[in-house]
Amino acid sequence: MNKKGNTVIVYNPLNDLAVSLHGQICHWLEQRGYNVTSCDSHECKAGVVSPKVDFAVSLGGDGTFLSCARLLAENPVPILPVHLGTFGFITEVTHKEWSDALESWINGRLEVEDRMILEVKILRNDAEIGRFRGVNDAVVGVSGISKLVRLSLQLGGYEAGHFRGDGLILSTATGSTAYSMASGGPILVPPMRAVVLTPISPFSLSWRPMVIPDRDEIVISVDEDQRADVLLTVDGQESFPLEEGDVVSITGRAGGVRVIKSDRRVFYEVVRTKLGWSGGPHA
């Protein structure tokens, strides 16, 4: 049989349902002429898969999708996110729908949605010491509890103020339904190219969430005289300890993630279901 293309499946080998479905999906794809590479969601890193991958399957929850998306961010390809529960904010396809979704995708009946990611750089003494990509969010905050961090903020090259509180969340539209929403930030529809700035427990009530165009660079500086350790966390999965004087630069990059959309539900339905919006007088 002539091979049709290459695909990668990212899954959690410690999850029994993921292991079972992984075997079924591999067999299904191989029967249709695809080369399949598998990747542990806890260990997948850039460079472990061929740049010639045509599409990917994320088999798990939203966290597995984030690992898969960062893995492929250098050369984004369409990702079919399959959820092992019902469905998540990102993973709209349930584990009972995977074969129908793959069949529809292979036959050209599903659309691909391009989404923005965050490019995060850390500077120390004007030298770059770290670089990350965030699909959901980047958080500069306190490492521990019951302490304030002191941060300075610049937006689009202009000084925006000095922050005291638990930290600042910078989220994509994809990540606006995660930590940002839990901290009072707005929900953005995923294709939107914008960054949500959400303060976490600010000392001053004048700090409010703000939506910033993706073209504007966001710069956070760690002030002197900190009383707590400061930590950068990306997608809740990668972290980097910051020191006084460090600078974190965050910019948006369009098209860093490509998501294969379900034809059975839309984002508004996911939000309504997940948040329990009944639409009636008791909503």
Residues with a known catalytic role: 62
End-to-end C-alpha distance for the chain, whole angstroms: 55
| Neighbour tally for 3: CB within 10 Å | 10
Q: Could you tell me the maximum CA-CA distance found in the chain, to the nearest angstrom?
A: 66
Going by C-beta distance under 8 Å and a sequence separation of 6 or more, which residues neighbour residue 229?
142, 143, 144, 241
Three-state SS annotation for 106-144: HCCCCCEEEEEEEEEEEEECCEEEEEEEECCEEEEEECC
Type of residue numbered 26: C
Measuring CA to CA, how many Å separate 127 from each of 41, 100, 131?
31, 50, 12
Rounded to whole angstroms, how far apart are CA atoms 86 and 72?
25
Beta strands 34-40 and 5-11, pairing class: parallel
CB 143 within 8 A of CB 229: yes
